[in-house]
């Protein structure tokens, strides 16, 4: 299970990571949409926490593709400027 730092993954976390892992290049989902698709529509903050705890050494989950419902980028381990740059690059190349 070693993908979360010192944490055991829950079924909800597994679903969240699977959903985020399938977000197409150049596309985004909101934290709320990920929570809804994972079966807990009100758990959007939990989605953010799961993605924050995700081990960045495993690159199969494109966490930067999850944004806030108001369209703002939200948080990112390496800062919002990096997240914005990644999203712009993907959108331009898709």
Residues serving a catalytic function are 63
CA separation for the pair 76, 28 (Å, rounded):
14
- Among candidates 20, 18, 24, 42, which has minimal Cα distance to 32? 42
Enumerate the β-bridge partners of residue 30. Answer: 67
CA separation for the pair 80, 94 (Å, rounded):
21
Contact between 23 and 62 (Cβ < 8 Å): yes
């Amino acid at each position: 299970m070693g993908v979360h730092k010192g944490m055991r993954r829950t079924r909800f976390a597994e679903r969240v990571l699977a959903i985020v892992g399938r977000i197409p290049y150049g596309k985004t989902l909101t934290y709320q949409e990920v929570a809804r698709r994972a079966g807990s529509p009100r758990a959007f903050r939990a989605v953010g926490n799961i993605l924050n705890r995700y081990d960045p050494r495993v690159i199969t989950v494109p966490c930067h593709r999850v944004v806030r419902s108001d369209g703002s980028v939200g948080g990112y381990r390496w800062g919002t400027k990096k997240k914005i740059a990644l999203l712009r690059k993907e959108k331009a190349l898709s």
